[in-house]
Structure 1
């Protein structure tokens, strides 16, 4: 695959490794907060909404407040990406972590409805809007930031580490939640222990903010600035004028990314306990192992993209994911628990391989001047659309037509094969033209 606007091949140095680690913290914090909020949604609803509401409507209000954060992601992502393409990756990358961390900390410190009345849900809503605004710029910016820092023969590894950190954030959030529920009684949790994971996440984030101050601007942006090749048009306007095919491909890649990650990390454990008679404790244990294999698969997928053609690698991982998903979901749907834990973990490994290929392909589709804007628009719009419909589709199918889940997953695998072949074919033609 071509390497437009990236640094020359060389070994990773200490600065590269530091950049990778600090960049990965943001993605980990995003998904950590996601999991913790979901786990404590019922308690949050009871604290921040009028006690006259029954538990159902309090939960609906809480999840609605949570969903607002997703709705503003495309707006936040585009605004922050705009400034990232025009004024520098580092400034925008630093701002996104600031806007994400302090709202997380604020959730753990906000006064409740009993203390300040209707101002409590208003503040909670504002906090979620700020978080969603910041998150919209975090992951695409991280992919671009590390890709433009590391040598071009390590872009796959760098971006896959960012992707792997997302699963590790889910794992960390689940572990902290389990610890809180083990150490504290339900009464203690309701009376204040539910705040501890948010405060811990905020503290963790503040440390990340301090350390990110020492990150350097990417060599690619510095070179564009020196050569005065920064986009003269509004970046979003330019990508619509010249990069509609790239947007379309990136949107479809985001569909696969979102579908695989939501299904395996969030939906399957709930389906196991709610529809397929697997004890919730066993489902969460299996989820934990699978989160580890997803992270491992993501890193392997990225490394192989550095060594081989990324489109072909996406086809390979998609085929393996489709085959393994067939056996795993057949056993789950038919309620055959033997070996299901191993199949779940292996399916996660292959899904991780797909997730590791996707950012590599996306960062190579857009030129440096509009790279963050192109990826951010595609990724956040895809997350808003497909992140919203995937849970609905899966739940409806689980209730009315369980085998539909299997066909949906096979569709994602087939889409991955199609996009991988298209990418490989385009690359082959580009190589011929270069000759």
Structure 2
């Protein structure tokens, strides 16, 4: 049973890797997309359009969450996992071979929006589905370790994207990247997705869903029931989504402002990859520590440390880069998002309730986070990190309260 749990945990993590890989690639190549898939005579609106298409994928997530998670609670976790992965692969290949605006005009722009929307629908159930799947397969003793591993592998997708983007920038000229080289990472993502899809055919259904099915405890409309009876758990999802979104701030937004410390683009990409490694290690180590010393104790310790180093880096002194990497390591508190969220929902509605609350809040928060960070970066960034840590500490209080009621 332990071998089966390990296998299923690894296979479940593959979709999250692909999602974060595609996410960062889109961010890294937004300027290229603005030139290739939008009218060339208005750079400002092309830039607005490409970021709007990026946001459209996130805004589509809640709809995908409602549909896929419903079937995950009613028909089974395994089948939904396979379909969502397939819907992530096809858009990746479509983007890799999408003709330019010069070739097909406005159809290129519309197609980019549609690709992002289809990806968003699939992703709506992918990450939350992995959390639910793993939480129902792994024993209580190792659940925090397994979910910490899932969080680490999500960030590993960022690392892969960062390394591929670095390789593209080092080996191709600006003109070559615009002409064809930007397509190579998306082809690689599609190939990886096919392998992941094949491996997912070997997944087993979770014992918990099998028990619900056997005992005829499945609900007809799990999301409606969750909205009626699980308001506090949904608040936990909202707060943990805010904490997860802070990873976006540390790993993709703050590096945009590295110009004050380093001017070379390759050097900035290298440092961004170091930061991603720090989050990967932080997520896995904190999940492991939580398995042995308890979720609440470890979450409290690292949330406080995250606030301290986050505030320290906002001073922008000579130790900025050191504080930045330490804050990224403490950013491993994102591993408590799946740990807490899967613990506060009944299994009969866990997929629907978690997916809906997480995806709605995460989509909205992630959409506005870049604008907020850009506005507060110079003077108030430290207070943002303190607010994230306070949200994490408040989640500890809420989860304790919910578990005491059961």
- Note if 1:173 corresponds to 2:143: no
Q: Which runs of 5+ in 1 are unaligned?
A: 1-11
Count of paired positions? 405
In the alignment, structure 1 residue 295 sits paired with structure 2 residue 274: no
1:425 CA displacement: 5.1
SS in 2 for 1:107: helix
Task: Show the 5 A alignment for 1:185-224.
Answer: 185-224=173-212
Take 1:238 and 1:425, find their aligned partners in 2: how far apart are those partners? 20
Q: Distance in 1 between matches of 2:272 and 2:103?
A: 38
Query: Which residue is 1:284 aligned to?
Result: 269
Q: Decide whether the 8 Å contact of 1:74 with 1:380 is kept in 2.
A: yes
**Contact 1:305 1:360 (8 Å CA) reproduced:** no
Q: Within 5 A, what are the aligned runs for 1:110-129?
A: 110-129=98-117
CA root-mean-square deviation: 1.7
Equivalent residue for 1:71? 59
Counterpart position of 2:254: 268
Deviation at 1:305, TM superposition (A): 2.6
| Per-residue deviation, 1:20 | 1.7
Report what 1:142 is aligned to.
130
Provide TM-score, normalisation by structure 1.
0.89
- Corresponding residue of 1:86: 74
State whether structure 2 residue 259 is matched by structure 1 residue 304: no
- Normalising by the residue count of structure 2, what TM-score does the alignment of the two structures yield? 0.95
Question: Could you tell me whether the CA contact under 8 Å between 1:313 and 1:357 is conserved in 2?
Answer: no
Give yes or no for contact 2:236–2:398 (8 Å, CA) kept in 1: no
Residue 199 of structure 1 and its aligned partner are, at CA, apart by: 0.5
Contact preservation (8 Å) 1:20, 1:158? yes
- Determine which of 29, 44, 52 is the counterpart of 2:18: 29
Indicate how the Cα distance of structure 1 residues 121 and 406 shifts in structure 2: closer, same or farther if over 3 A, else same: same
Native 8 Å contact 1:107 1:127 kept in 2: yes
- Aligned equivalent of 1:6: none
Is residue 46 of structure 1 aligned with residue 35 of structure 2?
yes
Aligned equivalents of 1:278, 1:185: Cα separation in 2: 21
Quick check: 357-366 or 409-418, which moved more? 409-418
Q: Measure the CA separation in 2 of the matches of 1:293 and 1:243.
A: 34
Query: Do the aligned residues in 2 keep the contact of 1:27 with 1:138 (CA within 8 Å)?
Result: yes
SS at the partner of 1:72? Answer: helix
The reply on whether 1:244 has 2:194 as its aligned counterpart is no
Higher mean alpha-carbon deviation, 13-22 vs 78-87, is at 13-22
Shift of 1:65: 1.4
Q: Is the 8 A contact 2:233 2:402 kept in 1?
A: no
| Structure 2 counterpart of 1:397 | 376
- Seen in structure 2, the aligned counterparts of structure 1 residues 356 and 171 have a Cα distance that, compared at 3 Å, is same
**Structure 1 CA distance, aligned partners of 2:356 and 2:137?**
22
Matches of 2:394 and 2:113 in 1, distance apart? 40
Cross-structure match for 1:61: 49
CA deviations over 1:359-385 (Å, ceiling 9, x no partner): 111101001111011111111112122
